[in-house]
Amino acid sequence: MGSVEEILGELNRDAFVSLLQKVIGESEHVQNNPPELIPQEVRVANHVLEVLRPLSTECGGPLIVNHVSYSPGRSNLIVEYPGTESGKILSFVGMHMDVVTANPADWEFDPFALSIDGDKLCGRGTTDCLGHVALVTQLMKKLGETKPELKSTVVAVFIASEENSSITGIGVDALVKNGLLDKLKNGPLFWIDTADKQPCIGTGGMIPWKVHVTGKLFHSGLPHKAINALELGMEAVKEIQLRFYKHFPAHPKEKDYGFATPSTMKPTQWSYPGGGINQIPGECTIAGDVRLTPFYNVADVLKKLQEYVDDINLNIEKLDSRGPVSHYVLPDENMRGRLAISFEEAFSGVACNLESRGFHVLCKATEKVVGYVKPYSITGSLPLIRELQEEGFDVQTAGYGLMATYHAKNEYCLLSDMAQGYKVFTSIISQLED
């Protein structure tokens, strides 16, 4: 009998594309944008089960398949290929069966049907994350068919609801809460939900914020009688940003982890109640986010942002203004402009353990298959893996789609990249047998 890598061989490209075609055909029904769009991951899970059930223990095969739902239509699948040594395990997790939304009118091709253009596999979910669902399904299928003798149990966990992690009790959080993933703590857990074929070793935390600005509405021909909420908002957010970057500058460890950017705080949305062009607005709301590298504490940032706003309110007359009659205090009317800041749910980033066995085997496999290894970090957020890390799992992350098309219009992946991903998986399994 040959080595594990020889037994598992190459990706069966025809079988992979056939399954991908079926699951991309369900992508319209697994868009995740509640309350309008509630994904029905069972539609994808059924295609995975169609491939793997004939190799399951209920049909006389080696695979142990557990279909778990905590809400109607919201499927999770746990698939195990048992090893010979108790407690020795490795897992591939994070292949989520939902997708972000897509508007067909904005795309050059139908997002909800797989189209093939040479090496390109095009459609919503090819990169994130139905491509990975199909890829890991092929790995588990090959294990079930060839039945190599492994010391380690290999587990694949296909999950629901990664694209809207604010809705809890549906996917991996529920599996952890109910103890169904406890044994995965005994070995490396590879979260397969990033891109570009390299280890992603760090992600950012996120703090969504809103600053509501109150001024005084008045006729634009009499600006001295108004407190312009738009001008106050611009200057206040600028001042908040300046203070943020002073207190949370680039951290020395960001270089070690290869973060593309340091922590950032910026506005991304602006709204106001409306009015005529000849009216100076009396209120507006500016919203945005903080993206925080994992070397800073979210609670510290929340505290500082509130302090900044409190101090600006106390000293609002010292804030820069716009022109000779722009001001934020009307003494004759005993009126002051003011700010109020609020936050939605915040979460921390992740710094993977660079000393773990999981990290080393992932790097070695990547170098062997791809030809080089260059771990990277981004301030994009994967809150679910932070929760896994806090629960004691050795989480490493990788993915084989394209960052350039991640959540983007005209999403696609490359078949050749997915084939390399399959070889990385077989190399990881082989290394952990040694």
**Active site amino acids:** 98, 162
Q: Which residues contact 307 (CB under 8 A, 6 or more apart)?
A: none
**CA–CA separation, 353 and 227 (whole Å):** 51
Give percent helix, percent strand, percent coil of the chain, each to the nearest 5. 40, 25, 35
Burial 407-426 (b: 16+ CB within 10 A, else e): eeeebbbbbebbbbbbbbbb
Separation CA 18–CA 54 (nearest Å): 17
Q: CA–CA separation, 299 vs 310, rounded Å? A: 17
Residue of 112, 94, 97 lying closest to 40 (CA atoms):
97
C-alpha angle 223-224-225 in degrees, rounded to nearest 5: 90
DSSP-assigned letters across all residues of 48-92 = HHHHHGGGBGGGTSSBEEEEEESSTT-EEEEEEE--SSTT-EEEE
Beta bridge partners of 271: 285
Q: Which amino acid is at 405?
A: T
Q: Which residues pair with 234 in a beta bridge?
A: none
> What's CA 421's distance to the chain center, in Å?
19
Q: What are phi and psi of 297, to 5 degrees?
A: -95, 130
CB atoms within 10 A of CB 242: 11
Which residues, other chains included, contact 118 with Cβ-Cβ below 8 Å and sequence gap of 6+?
none
